[in-house]
A and B are shown apart, each in its own frame.
Chain A
Amino acid sequence: MVDPKTVLWGQTIAYTCYCLAIMALVAWFAFKVTRKANEKPFNSAIFYAFFAFLVVLGVSLHIVTHETIPWKAMDLGRAKIAADREFEIAIAGHEFKLPAEKIVIKKGEIVRFTVTSADLTYGFGLFRPDSSMLFQMQVLPGHTNDILWRFDRTGLYTIRSTEYSGWKGIRMTLPDAVKVVD
């Protein structure tokens, strides 16, 4: 499965290029709009072409990500996908309760995390040692909150609540709580 870091790099490059282009366009416009114009009216074909471009972009973006980001389709169809391993995690009083001191996963396994909350809305996310995020989800009380993930790389991951649950919850981290081994 493609690594989220790769996806984020792609996004960074695409969005940076876009930002530079749109800033250059507005700067060019600001320069030209103060200069004398020729008499020709604005070509409405350009306007309609831009309209069509927006429609195509709006429609195609999510289709492209559906076909290229593997966890998107997996998430939508997760009820029908069998996991290699399942873990149930409970949260209450701003504390995670894991099924074991460490969660150990074999590389290549599809894992289902089911997280429940006894009181507040929390978050559940896995983070690499450099603090970058692998994935996250919201954890709502009174509901089943589950996520499927395929672990294709070995490593240690920290569990962190990714949602604010009051000032008492700001240290809700379990360092190196998940270990992925060969």
Chain B
Amino acid sequence: MRFIETLIQGEQGLFKPGSLTPMQKMTLRFVVVGLVYYAFAVIEGMIMRVYEVVHLPFVTEEQFYAILTAHPLVGIFGSTYSIVFGAFLFLVPFLMKKPLWSLKLGSWTFGLVAGGTFVFWFAGFVSHYSPLYTLYWPLPADFGQFSAVGGAFFIAGIALVMAGAALFVINVFKTITYTPPGWDRQPGGRLLASALGLSGLRNLFRKDKKEHLVSLPVAAIARGTVDMALNTTVILFAGVLILVYMVAHLLGFDLRHSAVDALLYKNLYWWGLDLIADGLVLIFVAGTWYLLATMITGKKLYMENIARAALFVELVVSWTVWSHHLMSDQAQPGILKIVSGEMVTAFELITQGLAFAITLITLWSARPLKMSHPLKFLLGGLLGFALAVPAGIMQADLGLNRILHNTQWVVGPHVHVAILVGLTMTLYAAIYLLLPVLTNGAKLWSDKLANVHFWCHLLGGIGMGAFMGMAGLQGMLRRTLYFEGEFNVYMILAALSGALLLVAFLAFFLNIVMTVGVRGVIGIFLPAKLKTKDLLPAGK
């Protein structure tokens, strides 16, 4: 009986959605939707993990590739973008001690990301549109394999997500620079220069160092948001190009594919797409590590000036690093492969290594610390990137890429360990830390379940990456189905690790639902009773 009561009311009835400000509600909506789409991605991942071992009779090969196309996009756009947008739209004003520039724009971002993700997921589900997230030209416009109608809806869904991302970019920069009503005029230009790192750069050559106008986490968010603006533009451009071919086909005109150069397109598209993988993700994650470390310890960040400089270097690196995705493209100029592909990519070892060290030393300086849930998930996130970044540096080598490109090595120890262990555990650390702030003091239902969540996620994520990597070193390709059970031993072990990830998510999901209660979850989506632009209710 007590279980049912807690399920409905939440732990000790502490969570009262009526006490939430509109900002808290918006942030929690982002988080809830992000977690629902994470569940989508986990289930899709498990279907594919099983399919790599046994070809399920109710999933056709076309469906498999439609799932493979939707899986990373739902994971990154539907889940990660939602959680990150929600967190940063709350944290930027929170850290700058002023209201968000536009709550309405934030709500539009929420609707566009949530709705756009559903549109492209559903279009892929129904039509089996499956050019993968890479969209290598002219595959997305190959109407001998894919439905133009299904594809048009799919691309339109992606475009909606990008529109939401564009509104997020505007909201972040306006929040940093604007003057709220009744305030003294804010130095918008100088705030922007500080956020982008220009004033910090000038400080390096000045004797009288000027104080930073924005905190380091806000600077990290601003710099990652620059990459988001650029990648949003490129992805929208590619989407419009593909839509032109689709609309022309539907009107009875078949445009020549050769009108678009496949190599030029691949360079442009990877330049934009890589601003997510090697740009904003690394910058946002470093900024989140710094924020978590300072909040957990209550101390200043170790070597803050170097951390700021590393973030600036990372921003420049992210603009010039794309060619490591084209190292097996023989028409790609060798100089680009060496300079952009190998040398600039190696800088990521340095920038992420510094972020790793600065975070650990900040924590170390505050010993003894309690091993709280945010701290253990933060350490998991740090370990994830410590494992995944060197794996990426290895494959970004001309010699090794020849025998690693498009193998399970790329997507296992590098991509999945970076995203599942590095990125997701960092996000979980932030969720556990901010939960009491965002819910006005809700208490976590079960610490034991949080520990199950931690260990299953950590072991499942590392295990899956490791077994995929072992298969990759034996020659197993990604995006390829095998019919003779060639790599079944590794794939069974990877599937078992994937099952641990599923258990981890279920433990977390149950814990969160029991913490806030079903009534609380519903309440999050009802209009706020408090009419205020403040982030937290008065007195909190």
Q: Do A and B bind each other?
A: yes
Which A residues have a C-beta under 8 Å from some C-beta of B? 4, 7-8, 11-12, 15, 18-19, 22-23, 26, 29-30, 32-37, 41-42, 44, 47, 50-51, 54-55, 57-59, 61-62, 65-66, 68-69, 71-72, 75-76, 119-121, 123, 125, 127-128, 130-138, 140-147, 160, 162-168, 170
A11 to B406, CA, bound (A): 17
A75: B residues at CB distance < 8 A: 398, 402
Among the listed B342, B346, B382, B405, which residue makes an inter-chain contact with A162, where contact means beta carbons less than 8 Å apart? B405
Apart from A61-B394, A69-B400, A131-B486, 5 more pairs, CB < 8 Å: A54-B354, A119-B257, A135-B402, A136-B405, A138-B326
Q: Does B36 contact A (CB under 8 A)?
A: no
Q: How far is the CB of A36 from chain B (nearest CB, A)?
A: 5
Could you tell me the distance in whole angstroms from the C-beta of B418 to the nearest C-beta in chain A? 14
Question: How long is the Cα–Cα vector from A54 to B351 in the complex, in angstroms?
Answer: 9
Against A, the Cβ 8 Å flags (1 = close, 0 = not) of B467-510 are 00000011111011110001100000000000000000000000
Interface size on B, residues (CB 8 A): 84
Q: List 26 A-B contacts (CB under 8 A).
A: A8-B403, A26-B383, A32-B364, A33-B368, A33-B371, A34-B369, A42-B364, A58-B393, A61-B393, A62-B342, A65-B399, A71-B402, A131-B474, A132-B474, A137-B329, A140-B262, A141-B138, A141-B258, A141-B262, A160-B477, A162-B406, A162-B480, A163-B406, A164-B480, A167-B65, A170-B480
With beta carbons under 8 angstroms apart, the residue of A32, A144, A165, A166 that contacts B367 is: A32
A76 to B337, CA, bound (A): 10
Q: Which 10 A-B pairs have the closest CB atoms?
A: A69-B399, A37-B367, A58-B346, A72-B399, A132-B475, A143-B331, A133-B475, A164-B479, A166-B145, A121-B136
Assembly CA distance A22 to B379 (angstroms): 12
Residue among A11, A132, A138, A142 with most chain B CB within 10 A? A138
| One of B132, B142, B346, B407 near A133 (C-beta < 8 A) | B407
Kindly list chain A residues whose C-beta atoms are within 8 Å of the C-beta of B407.
133
- What is the bound-complex CA distance between A47 and B142, given in angstroms? 53
- The closest CB in chain A to the CB of B466 belongs to A19
Structural contact, B353 and A50, CB atoms closer than 8 A: yes
B361 at the interface (CB under 8 A from A): yes
Residues of B within 8 A of A55 (CB): 350
Residue pair B330, A131 in contact (C-beta under 8 Å): no
Known contacts A8-B473, A50-B357, A164-B480: A33-B369 contact under CB 8 Å: yes
The residues of A that contact B474 with a CB separation of less than 8 Å are 130-132
Q: Check B364 against A167 for contact (C-beta < 8 Å).
A: no
Q: Which of B262, B331, B349 contacts A54 (CB 8 A)?
A: B349
- B-side contacts of A164, CB under 8 Å: 65, 132, 134, 139, 479-480
B302 in contact (CB, < 8 A): yes
Whether B364 and A170, one on each chain, are in contact in the complex, defined by CB atoms closer than 8 angstroms, is: no
A residues in contact with B65, CB < 8 Å: 164, 166-167, 170
Which of B3-11, B201-209, B384-392, B529-537 lies at the binding interface? Answer: B384-392
CB-CB under 8 A for A141 and B61, given A11-B400, A30-B379, A162-B477: no
Residue pair A170, B376 in contact (C-beta under 8 Å): no
Q: A15-B391, A76-B334, A140-B262 are in contact. Are A120 and B399 (CB under 8 A)?
A: no
Select which of A11, A135, A143, A170 is within 8 A of B262 by beta carbon.
A143
Q: Which of B128, B131, B346 has a CB less than 8 Å from the CB of A62?
A: B346
Q: In chain B between 363 and 383, which residues have their CB closer than 8 angstroms to a CB of chain A?
A: 363-365, 367-371, 375-376, 379, 382-383
The residues of B with any CB-CB pair to A shorter than 8 Å are 61-62, 64-65, 128, 130-132, 134, 136-139, 142, 144-146, 257-258, 261-263, 266, 302-303, 326, 328-331, 334, 338, 342-343, 346-347, 349-350, 353-354, 357, 360-361, 363-365, 367-371, 375-376, 379, 382-383, 386-387, 390-391, 393-394, 397-400, 402-403, 405-407, 413, 466, 473-477, 479-482, 486-487
A148 CB to closest chain B CB, in angstroms? 10
A128–chain B nearest beta-carbon distance, Å: 8
Q: Considering residues B130, B266, B376, B479, which has the most beta carbons from chain A within 10 angstroms of its beta carbon?
A: B479
Please give, as numbers and ranges, the residues of chain B lying within 8 Å of A51 by CB-CB distance.
350, 353-354, 357
Task: Answer whether A18 and B390 are a contact pair too, CB < 8 Å, given A71-B399, A120-B139, A167-B130.
Answer: yes
Q: A133 CA to B263 CA in the complex, in Å?
A: 25
* Distance of A5 Cα from B146 Cα, bound (Å): 38
Within the complex, which residue of A36, A62, A144 is in contact with B331, where a contact is CB–CB below 8 Å?
A144
* Smallest beta-carbon distance A142→chain B, Å: 6
Q: How far is the CA of A137 from the CA of B329 in the complex (A)?
A: 6
A105 to chain B, nearest CB (A): 18
Of B330, B361, B397, most A-chain CB atoms within 10 Å = B330
* A166 touching B131 in the complex, CB below 8 Å, given contacts A26-B386, A131-B487, A138-B328: yes
What distance in Å separates the Cβ of A48 from its nearest Cβ neighbour in chain B?
10
Query: CA A112 – CA B537 in complex, angstroms?
Result: 71
Partner of A34, one of B370, B394, B476, B487: B370
* Residue ID in chain B nearest A128 by CB atoms: B475
How far apart are the CA atoms of A52 and B475 in the complex, in Å? 35
Q: B509 to chain A: closest CB distance in Å?
A: 25
Residues of chain B with a CB closer than 8 A to A138's CB: 326, 328-330, 405
Most buried by B among A29, A61, A71, A160: A61
Contacts of A29 in B (CB 8 A): 360, 363-364, 379
Min CB gap B199→A, angstroms:
23
Docked-complex contact B330 and A137, CB < 8 angstroms: yes
Closest to A147 in B: B330
Q: In the complex the two chains form, is A65's CB within 8 Å of B400's CB?
A: yes
- Chain A residue numbers with a CB within 8 Å of B368 are 33-37
Set A7, A37, A61: member contacting B346, Cβ < 8 A: A61
Q: How far is the CA of A164 from the CA of B140 in the complex (A)?
A: 12
A12 and chain B: residue at smallest CB distance? B473
B317 to chain A, nearest CB (A): 11
Given A75-B402, A163-B136, A164-B480, is A58 in contact with B379 using a C-beta cutoff of 8 Å?
no
Contacts A4-B403, A18-B390, A65-B399; A165 near B263 (Cβ below 8 A): no
Using Cβ atoms and an 8 Å threshold, which residues of chain B touch A130?
Answer: 474-475
CB-CB nearest in chain A for B297: A33
Cβ B330 vs Cβ A144 within 8 A? yes
Q: Which residues on the B side are within 8 Å of A57 (C-beta)?
A: 349
CA gap between A47 and B376 in the complex, in Å:
23
Residues in chain A near residue B347, CB distance under 8 A: 58
Within the assembled complex, what's the spacing in Å between the Cα atoms of A127 and B134? 24
Contact of B138 among A18, A69, A119 (CB under 8 A): A119
